[in-house]
Chain A
Amino acid sequence: MTEPIDIATLVAARQAGYSLPAPFYTDSDIFRHDLELIFGRHWIYVGAEPEIPDAGDFITVDVGSASVLMARDDEGRIRAFHNVCRHRGARLQQAGRGVLGNIVCPYHQWTYNLNGELIHCKHMGADFDRSGFGLRPVHVENLAGLLFICMAAEPAPGFDALRTAMEPYLQPHDIPNTKVAHQSDLIEMGNWKLTMENNRECYHCVGSHPELLVSLLEYGFGYAPSPQNTKQIQGFNELLAREHGRWEGYGLPSREIDRLEDVTGFRAVRLPIARSGESQTPDTKVASSRPLGAYTHADLGGLSFWTQPNSWHHVMSDHVVTFSVRPLAPGRTLLRTTWLVHKDAQQGVDYDLERLTSVWIATNKQDGALIERAQQGIASLAYQPGPYSPFTEGLVEKFCDWYIGRLGAGLKDKR
């Protein structure tokens, strides 16, 4: 690139219904704006409560150059701070997870308690006022066991609406009483928006995800109606109505909620699972014999829950798979996938780890290859934005529309 890119002009010129112009996926200046205005100002999903079950447990969350330290304090509250020492700025915790007493900088041992207060620092003189040098807090919300942070001084509006809408869907599954059965980090060689766009459609599923297709009913993800599929569509719609009625009778809200246009945007729906109707496993039967929450039915389908800008989740009767997306570089993205089972379920007794994880490990790998392929094509000079299917890619458009809208709003605020 020889000329600097005017981001505001690109934002204003974006054509609805078409994929984004190449610089949104490749340009380092736009990437910096994504970190500052999208990831720095919105609620982002970072992990599940059972990742830090006990007092002193911590995880670090790295997003671009930012890093956040999340820990459970002695009162059981989840706290989050910028992972930056107030002395000379050193990264406080490098490890991705662990246990800590106080928060101690390894450089000069400045020591903070889990309220973020500086409680010890040597050689600063008797009149040094420690109270002015506490850790900078980060906003945290715990949505029925799913943890979100907002790094802005003033958090983005709308988390209350998200909570009000989604708690009834999530709480019956009792995520706080699950445990992490497995976690995988996959680095995808593409821009983070390609990871999200790929998640928001299943147009690609039939050609790429043979393992996932066993449990998937493709009509749940959009279709172009034609004389050839009229009967199948009718069959799917009847199944959906019947299952929603049954699940809601159990106290499990199932109907679609679409608030993807909100600043704190999200969507949810409970969808039937194919064959036995139980779980996203190789044979669609539950992977864990310990059901979540108070439910004994195995065939509860799957509650899918998507949030802007960086997550999706599938909640079944026996386990939860939850996905957090973190930009690393314009063409590099971390996808962290976490599998949760009942906290008392024992590996090898109540569940087999391979059966639990194999479908999404295969699917993630396939998606990673597709995202790399998309990035390669978009980075070539021949790329020009192409049209979305009105039947199967409506949610991709909603993601892009949200992104462009929020980036535009952020740019306006900066001026």
Chain B
Amino acid sequence: MSSDPAPKDFGVTFRSAGGRTVRCRADQFVLEAGEDAGIPLSYGCREGACGTCKLKLLSGQVHMEHNGGIRQREIDAGYVLLCCSTPLSDLLIE
């Protein structure tokens, strides 16, 4: 048995994709995990500036480092930018 812990991952469920759940590593952007699994997702800059990948997080928590593509009030209302968000828990996305 290896003593290295496997990198932690979380389940991310996309309601828009019929409720499919994909795995997302704790160090992986949610957009990438969704793309790898073939979930149809829009994006633009992948730098957190354009807001094209903005979706509502219905439950769970993320760590997000954006570049102005989302307003604090939108964050307060539950929106996230998938391109620059890593999961801190299992997620349910609109």
Contacts and interface: CB of A to CB of B under 8 A. Distances in A.
B73 A102 contact: no
A367 B74 CA distance: 40
B49 A111 contact: yes
User: How would you classify the secondary structure of chain A's contact residues: helix, strand, loop or mixed?
Assistant: loop
Nearest to A122: B45
A102 B52 contact: no
A378 interface: no
A311 to B, nearest CB: 30
B47 interface: yes
A55 B74 CA distance: 12
Contacts of B52: 104, 106, 109
Interface residues of A, number: 15
Interface in B31-80: 44-45, 47, 49-52, 66, 68-71, 73-74
Nearest to A106: B52
Interface residues of B, number: 14
Contacts of B51: 100-102, 104
User: How would you classify the secondary structure of chain B's contact residues: helix, strand, loop or mixed?
Assistant: loop
Given A102-B51, A104-B50, A104-B52, A111 B45 contact: yes
A99 B73 contact: yes
A272 interface: no
A101 B45 contact: no
Contact of A104 (B66, B69, B73): B69
A56 interface: yes
Given A109-B50, A111-B50, A120-B50, A102 B69 contact: yes
B68 A102 contact: yes
Which one of B50, B66, B68, B71 has the highest number of Cβ atoms from chain A below 10 Å of its Cβ?
B50
Which one of A55, A101, A106, A113 has the highest number of Cβ atoms from chain B below 10 Å of its Cβ?
A101
Nearest to A114: B68
Nearest to B74: A99
A55 B47 CA distance: 21
B44 A109 contact: yes
B47 A101 contact: no
9 contacts: A54-B73, A56-B71, A101-B51, A101-B70, A102-B50, A102-B68, A102-B69, A111-B44, A111-B50
Given A102-B49, A104-B51, A109-B44, 11 more contacts: A99-B73, A100-B51, A101-B70, A101-B71, A102-B50, A106-B52, A109-B50, A113-B68, A119-B49, A120-B49, A122-B45
